[in-house]
C-alpha cells in the first residue's frame, strides 16, 4: 500500500503527558494496521524529517508503547525549530515532502503548539500543490494552554495540578513557621505570555485568608505599590503571604519584571528569575523575611503528579488524530470540546488548522479578579476539572519506572 505510512513528531517544550499522546497515536495506528502502515517518529521532532532521521515505532513492543502513557518528556526528542516562511523560502517544506515521499508517508501528525499547527497547515497546502497530498492532522500540546478552539491543551492540566498541589503544600510549611520565620513565599511558574499556569495556583485557595494570597499574571500590568499593599495586608491578616508569579509578569510599559535592570546580575530572559526580583522588592520595601522557589522544568516534567484528566485527554487527542486522518480529514487539529462544567464532560472534535495557527489564547478578563491578583469563580469552574484525578506511574526502587526507547533511526534513502 503506497503512502499509508505515518510521520509523528513532537514539537516545542515537552510535557508530562506528550508521550501519552504518542501512545494514543501509535496504539490507534496499530489497531488500524490494515489501513495505516508504519508510524515513523521524528528524531528530535521536525528535525527528524528534515534530516531524514526516522524512528520506526514498529520495533517497539506493545508493552513498551503502553509505557509511554506514563512517561514524561519527549520519548523521541523534540525541538524548538520554526520552519522558514513558506512564501520566502519553501525549501524546508519541499524537503519534508521529499522525505515523506521517500518513505511512503501519507499521514503527518504534528504534536505541538501554535507554531506547529501553522507548520502542519503549510505542509498540507504544499503537498497538494506539489502533487504529493499528505493528510496533515495537528495534535494540541502546550503547558501554556494558549491554543484556541480547544477547551484545553494536553500538558496544561498536569502543570496546573503540580502548581496547585505545590502551593497548597508550601503554604502549610510557611504557615507553620511564619511566627518566627518566613512571612512571604514566592513561587515562580511558567507562562511567558498567558497566565493560565499561575492562575491554576489559585485552585489551592480554600477560604479568604488561604494561600495563594497574590497571583501575578502577565495579563495584568504589575503595579508595585498595589502589590506591596496586598502583600502587607495578607501578612497582617493571615500571618504570611504566598505569591504565585508568572515568569511573564510585566510592567505597564511592557517590560518583563525579569528584565529589570540593576536588580538581576545576569538577567537573561531565558533565565526565569522573576521570583528573586519580587523577593528583593518585598525585602527592600516591606522588610519581611522571605523565601522563593523557581519550579522551572520540574513543573512540566512532573508526571508523578499528573492530572488523570490530562492524561486521558492527551491520549484521546492522539487516538482521535489517527481517526481523523483515516476519515480523510486533512488540515485539522484534534480538539477537546467541553460540554459541561459540573459534572465535567468533554468530547473530541476537530478545528481547521488555518484557524488555529498563530492565535494565542490568553486568560479572559472574566477569569481575573477585580484587583487583578486572583482568579474568579468562573476561572475555578473552568480550571478545576482539568486537575481532577491522579494517574500515578509505576515505581521501582522508589523512583518512577519510566520508559526509555531506543532512538535508532531507519536507513536514509535520500542525500542529507
Is 337 a binding residue for a copy of itself by CB under 8 A? The answer is no
Interactions with a copy of itself, residue window 114-173 (CB under 8 A) = 161, 164-166, 168-170, 172-173
Residue 144 annotated among the catalytic residues of the structure: yes
Please pick, among 144, 146, 259, 310, the residue that the annotation labels catalytic: 144
CB-wise, 204 or 317, nearer to a copy of itself?
Answer: 204
Q: CB neighbours of 233 closer than 8 A, spacing ≥ 6?
A: none
CB-wise, 53 or 90, nearer to a copy of itself?
Answer: 53
Is 409 a binding residue for a copy of itself by CB under 8 A? The answer is no
Interactions with a copy of itself, residue window 74-93 (CB under 8 A) = 74-75, 77-81
Give, in order, the Cα–Cα distances in Å from 231 to each of 104, 117, 150, 196, 209. 60, 41, 35, 21, 12
Interactions with a copy of itself, residue window 367-386 (CB under 8 A) = 384
278, β-bridge pairs? none
CB of residue 328 to a copy of itself, shortest distance in Å: 32
User: Contact 130/119 with Cβ under 8 angstroms?
Assistant: no
Is 252 a binding residue for a copy of itself by CB under 8 A? The answer is no
| Separation of alpha carbons 96 and 84, rounded Å | 13
Interactions with a copy of itself, residue window 28-47 (CB under 8 A) = 44, 47
User: Contact 380/203 with Cβ under 8 angstroms?
Assistant: yes
CB-wise, 115 or 323, nearer to a copy of itself?
Answer: 115
CB-wise, 43 or 101, nearer to a copy of itself?
Answer: 43
User: Contact 105/29 with Cβ under 8 angstroms?
Assistant: no
CB of residue 203 to a copy of itself, shortest distance in Å: 7
Is 410 a binding residue for a copy of itself by CB under 8 A? The answer is no
For residue 135, the surrounding DSSP H or E stretch is: strand 135-140
Is 197 a binding residue for a copy of itself by CB under 8 A? The answer is no
Give, in order, the Cα–Cα distances in Å from 401 to each of 68, 145, 256, 351. 11, 28, 39, 36
Tell me the DSSP string of 258-323. Answer: GG-TTTSSS--GGG--HHHHHHHHHHHHH---EEEEE-THHHHH-GGG-BHHHHHHHHHHHHHHHH
**Alpha-carbon dihedral of residues 284, 287, 288, 294, nearest 10 degrees?**
10
The one segment of 90-98, 180-188, 324-332, 345-353 that binds a copy of itself by CB under 8 A: 180-188
CB of residue 34 to a copy of itself, shortest distance in Å: 32
CB-wise, 332 or 382, nearer to a copy of itself?
Answer: 382
3-class state of residue 1 by DSSP: coil
Is 64 a binding residue for a copy of itself by CB under 8 A? The answer is no
Among 26, 159, 204, 356, binds a copy of itself (CB under 8 A): 204
CB of residue 59 to a copy of itself, shortest distance in Å: 19
Is 350 a binding residue for a copy of itself by CB under 8 A? The answer is no
Beta strand 39-42 with 54-56 is antiparallel
CB of residue 54 to a copy of itself, shortest distance in Å: 15
> Residue 148 has what DSSP assignment?
S
Q: How far is CA 161 from the centre of its chain?
A: 13
CB of residue 175 to a copy of itself, shortest distance in Å: 7
Catalytic residues: 144
Amino acid at each position: 500500500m503506497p503512502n499509508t505510512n505515518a510521520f509523528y513528531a513532537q514539537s516545542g517544550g515537552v510535557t508530562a503527558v506528550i508521550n501519552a499522546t504518542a501512545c494514543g497515536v501509535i496504539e490507534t495506528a496499530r489497531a488500524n494496521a490494515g489501513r495505516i502502515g508504519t508510524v515513523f517518529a521524528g528524531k528530535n521532532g521536525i528535525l527528524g524529517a528534515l534530516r531524514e532521521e526516522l524512528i520506526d515505532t514498529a520495533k517497539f513492543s506493545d508493552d513498551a508503547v503502553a509505557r509511554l502513557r506514563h512517561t514524561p518528556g519527549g520519548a523521541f526528542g523534540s525541538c524548538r525549530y520554526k520552519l522558514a516562511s513558506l512564501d520566502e523560502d519553501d525549501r524546508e517544506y519541499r524537503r519534508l515532502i521529499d522525505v515523506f515521499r521517500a518513505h511512503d508517508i501519507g499521514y503527518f501528525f504534528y504534536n505541538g503548539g501554535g507554531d506547529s499547527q501553522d507548520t502542519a497547515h503549510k505542509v498540507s497546502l504544499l503537498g497538494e500543490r506539489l502533487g504529493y497530498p499528505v493528510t496533515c492532522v495537528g495534535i494540541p500540546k502546550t503547558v501554556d494552554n494558549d491554543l484556541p478552539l480547544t477547551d484545553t491543551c494536553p500538558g496544561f492540566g498536569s502543570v496546573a495540578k503540580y502548581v496547585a498541589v505545590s502551593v497548597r503544600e508550601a503554604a502549610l510549611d510557611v504557615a507553620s513557621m511564619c511566627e518566627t520565620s518566613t512571612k512571604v513565599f514566592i513561587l515562580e511558574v511558567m507562562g511567558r505570555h498567558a497566565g493560565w499556569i499561575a492562575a491554576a495556583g489559585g485552585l489551592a485557595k480554600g477560604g479568604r485568608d488561604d494561600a495563594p494570597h497574590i497571583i501575578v499574571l502577565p495579563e495584568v500590568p504589575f503595579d508595585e505599590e498595589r502589590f506591596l499593599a496586598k502583600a502587607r495586608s495578607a501578612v497582617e491578616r493571615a500571618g504570611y503571604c504566598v505569591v504565585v508569579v508568572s515568569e511573564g509578569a510585566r510592567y505597564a510599559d511592557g517590560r518583563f519584571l525579569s528584565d529589570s535592570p540593576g536588580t538581576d546580575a545576569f538577567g537573561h530572559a531565558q533565565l526565569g528569575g522573576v521570583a528573586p526580583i519580587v523577593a528583593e522588592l518585598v525585602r527592600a520595601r516591606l522588610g519581611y523575611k522571605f523565601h522563593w522557589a523557581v519550579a522551572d522544568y520540574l513543573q512540566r516534567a512532573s508526571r508523578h503528579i499528573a492530572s488523570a484528566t490530562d492524561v486521558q485527554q492527551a491520549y484521546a487527542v492522539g487516538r482521535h488524530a489517527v481517526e481523523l486522518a483515516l476519515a480523510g480529514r486533512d488540515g485539522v487539529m484534534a480538539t477537546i470540546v467541553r460540554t459541561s462544567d459540573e459534572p465535567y464532560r468533554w468530547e473530541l472534535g476537530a478545528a481547521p488548522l488555518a484557524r488555529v495557527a498563530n492565535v494565542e489564547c490568553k486568560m479572559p478578563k472574566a477569569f481575573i479578579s477585580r484587583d487583578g491578583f486572583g482568579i474568579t469563580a468562573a476561572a475555578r469552574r473552568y480550571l478545576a476539572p482539568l486537575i481532577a484525578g491522579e494517574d500515578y506511574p509505576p515505581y521501582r526502587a522508589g523512583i518512577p519506572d519510566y520508559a526509555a526507547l531506543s532512538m535508532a533511526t531507519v536507513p536514509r534513502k535520500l542525500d542529507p
